Structures are given as structure tokens and as C-alpha cells.
Amino acid sequence: MLPSSSQLRNALAYVAITLLALLFLNLYSARNTRTLMFQAKYTAAQDKLQPIVSAFSGLDALTVENVEQVISVLGDLNVTRVIVTDYEARALYDSSVGQNCVGRYVLFEEVAQALGGNDVFYCVYDSGALESRAAMPVQTDGATIGCVYMMEYDTAQGKIIADLERTFLRGSVILEAAIVLASVCFSIISSGRMRKILTSVRLAREGEYNYKIRMRGADEFSKLAAEFNKLTERLQASESAQRQFISDASHELKTPLASIKLLSDSILQNDMDTATMREFVADIGSESDRLTRMAQKLLVLNRTEHAVELEHEVVDAEQVVSHVFRMLIPLAERREIHLTGDLEHGCLVLSAEDDLYQILFNLVENGIKYNRDGGSVHVKLRRTDDDVTITVEDTGAGIPREALEHIFERFYRVDKARSRQAGGSGLGLSIVRELVARNLGTIDVSSIEGSGTRFTVVLPYFDMEREEGHDEEP
């Protein structure tokens, strides 16, 4: 299977980069090896020419005889060819047998330059051989009386260069082949890992959240897979919460609807007296009121969860408590329940919409609903430099310890019959919890069965002076 295009691109990029790097290394090392060899040859040529030139210096002129005499004394010079010329470039001695040029003019560039008084050295590497040519002037009292020319054709050193370059090239080819192979393997492996992730994403898109990617290692693919697994876990949890909510909501809505149906069927089917009929119709009315309240609360919950930008305003908690008391006094009076308050002044809170009113209303209403006749609901307001603490305490039946952790869940009711009778929907406290959280507060509950319940809400205190100070800062 071919790697996907991005992986192929990466692999080709690795190959191209390493190819360039190896090419550069090869050229660089070849150049360095040759330069080193040339330098060695130069030193060797100097070492060979210098004794010959020194042996000639002091002579008035170079002749065939004195040159041959000196050369024979020096012995084997161990070079390919040596030519000694007079000051006119005429050859006086030539070590070459085949191309001997004694008596003829030597027209080599090196000879011309040496007769001009310069030391000359040329070296080239060609066709596996190292060819070096050097020439040195022979001078007596500052006058050039001739020159010594030397040529060396070294196949042994040429072979060393050729072998070295070949070894480098062979190593590079093997290395590059290994890189190509590794790149292909790597891209196939990583494209396999990518395919695994893509398949899982496709499955998740089709609603299959149970599928988990199992991937070893600690590279980006493994991290991506781990993130994907966490995402599907969250989606799964939120989907099951949503399912649970829909099933709870439909169940809750079904109950009053069934009662309405039952009551209306009874009215239609039975011959009943007017008083009973009135009672049944009143029951239908209260069931539909309950449906309306539930629909309203569901709307509030939905709004709370999905509100993105909210209007905030500074509210005085004391005034909000008074407002809530005014609204709930009729309900409390019906059962002779006393609403009392111990309210500190200046408890300012920054509240989104009328959240604080809704929080207090639900808590005080519950305090009345789940109270005994003649009981009381007490609200206390206290503030510190940072927080406002609101306590709503009642003298009701209390909440069993095992139920305390569930009362903020949607549709949860400790005593279903009692809650329904009191017009409850099991949504009030979940709304309170959402509203407290979105106003950056906390809520706590403590209860003693048979004695009462206390809810404590802590919200950030809005310090007017501190805020104005902030506003005035440049």
C-alpha cells in the first residue's frame, strides 16, 4: 500500500536532503584528499630538486659534462623524468631514454618560468594517476645559468586517491539506500497509524463512541489517539446524559398528562354530581399548571446552559430577599409559616439577569413547601471583603443523608408524592445549582432529619469602591 501523500512527501524530502548532504560530503572529502596529496607531492618535489640545484650552484656555466658528472654523483633520483637545461633552455641532460631531448630546446612552460627566476610546481590528478611537474632555476651570483625540470607520473598515489573516492562513494550509496528504505518503512508505519486514527474518527462521526484507539508509544500519533479517546468518552457521557434527561423529562411530562386523561375520561363516562365534577376539573387545572411550571423550568435550565453572553447587573441581596418574601408570603401564610430575615446591609452581588432572585425564590419556596405547618424559613445575609454568604434555613422534615448528594440532579425528588402534592417538578435545585455556578459561586446543603435543612450559597462580593478605583486607573 502506498503511503499517503503527506508521508510520501516527507519521505522524499528526507531522501533529497540526505542525498544533497552525502553529495556535498563526497565532493568535500575528494577535494581535501587531493589537496593533501598535492601538498605532499610539492614537498617531495622540493626535497628532490633542492639537492640537484645546490650541487650546480657555484658553477659559472652548465655543460653536458659537468651536469652528467653531478647527476651521476647524486645517484637515482627516483622520478619519472629529470631534464637539466642551460640558460637558453637547451637540454643538457634528460633522464628519459625513449624521448631523450639532449641538445634540443625544451619548450615546457615550467622551464620558461624557471629560467625567469621562479620556482614552479604543477600537479594534476587525471585518469587514476597523479602527475606532478616542478622546475627550479640554477643561479650563480644572482644570474640564472640554467634550470632543473622534474616530472613524476605516480600511479600508486593516484590509485590511493581513486580507491578512497570509490570507498566514499560506495559508502554513500549504501547509506542512501538505507535511508530510502528507512523512510519508506517509516512512512508506511506512520501512514498506518494515521489510517487507524482516521478510521476511528469516521466511526465516531457515525455515532460509534465505544470504539477506542489502542496505540503504543509516546509520539504525536499516540497523543492524538489518547485525545481522541478522551473526546469520545466525553461524547458518550454527554449522549447518555442527554438520553437520560429526555427519558426523565418525557416520564415526568407523561404523569400529569395521564392524570388529565384519566380525570377527563371519568367526567365523560360517569354520571357525576356537579360538586365532584368541579373537583375533577380543578384537578385537571392544577395538573396543567404543573405541566406549565415544568415547561417553564425546563426552559430556564436550557437558557442557563446555553446562554453565551449575559447582561450582568449589580444587585443588593437584601432587596432581592425582600422581593422574594413579598412574592411568597401568600404561599407561606396558607400554612402559617413565618418568613424571617437577618440581613446585613450592602451585600452587593454582580448577578447575571435575575439569577439571584431565581436562586433565592427556589430555595425559600422549597423551605415553605417542605416545611411543617406553623414552621419558619429564616434567611441570613452576611458579607466579608470578598464574599456574600446567603443562608436559607427551614424547620421542615429535613433530607435523608443518602439523598443529600442527589438533590441537585434533574427530576430527583426525595418523596415523589410529597413533591408532586407540593407542585414540585424535581428541577428547582438543579436550576439553582446551574445559576450559582454561572455566577461564580458555590452552594452547600446540610440537613437534620426531622429538624430542618440549611442551604448556604456563597457568591463573590461586588465592591463598588474597588471597582470604581479599577475604572479610574489609566
The secondary element (H helix, E strand) that includes residue 193 is: helix 155-205
How many whole angstroms separate alpha carbon 402 and alpha carbon 262? Answer: 35
The minimum distance between CB 241 and ligand ADP, in angstroms, equals 17
Size of the site for ligand ADP (CB under 6 A): 21
* Number of helical H runs and strand E runs in the chain: 12, 12
**Under rule CB under 6 A, residue 427 binds ligand ADP:** yes
The minimum distance between CB 222 and ligand ADP, in angstroms, equals 44
The minimum distance between CB 436 and ligand ADP, in angstroms, equals 13
Question: Which stretches does DSSP call E strand in 358-451?
Answer: 376-383, 387-394, 442-448
Least Cα distance to 87 among 125, 115, 56, 119 occurs for 115
Give whichever of 186 and 325 is closer to ligand ADP, judged by the CB atom. 325
11 to 3, 196, 217, 222, 226: CA distances (angstroms)? 9, 20, 21, 20, 26
200, 232, 419, 439: which one contacts ligand ADP (CB under 6 A)?
Answer: 419
Give whichever of 90 and 293 is closer to ligand ADP, judged by the CB atom. 293
45, 381, 399, 459: which one contacts ligand ADP (CB under 6 A)?
Answer: 399
Restricting to residues 334-393, name those near ligand ADP by CB under 6 A. 366-367, 370
**Under rule CB under 6 A, residue 433 binds ligand ADP:** no
Restricting to residues 74-113, name those near ligand ADP by CB under 6 A. none
84, 407, 443, 459: which one contacts ligand ADP (CB under 6 A)?
Answer: 407
Give whichever of 114 and 432 is closer to ligand ADP, judged by the CB atom. 432
Question: Which stretches does DSSP call E strand in 42-128?
Answer: 81-86, 91-94, 120-126
Least Cα distance to 24 among 137, 168, 127 occurs for 168
Give the position of cell 634550470. Answer: 147
Give whichever of 154 and 434 is closer to ligand ADP, judged by the CB atom. 434
**Under rule CB under 6 A, residue 249 binds ligand ADP:** no
The secondary element (H helix, E strand) that includes residue 384 is: none
Biggest distance spanned by C-alpha atoms of the chain? 164
125 to 83, 111, 400, 474: CA distances (angstroms)? 22, 21, 101, 78
394, 434, 441, 459: which one contacts ligand ADP (CB under 6 A)?
Answer: 394
Amino acid identity of residue 459, one-letter, is L
Give whichever of 186 and 245 is closer to ligand ADP, judged by the CB atom. 245
**Under rule CB under 6 A, residue 396 binds ligand ADP:** yes
Least Cα distance to 138 among 75, 48, 81, 59 occurs for 59
**Under rule CB under 6 A, residue 301 binds ligand ADP:** no
Give whichever of 187 and 425 is closer to ligand ADP, judged by the CB atom. 425
The binding site for ligand ADP (CB under 6 A) comprises 366-367, 370, 394, 396-397, 399, 407, 412-415, 419, 424-430, 453
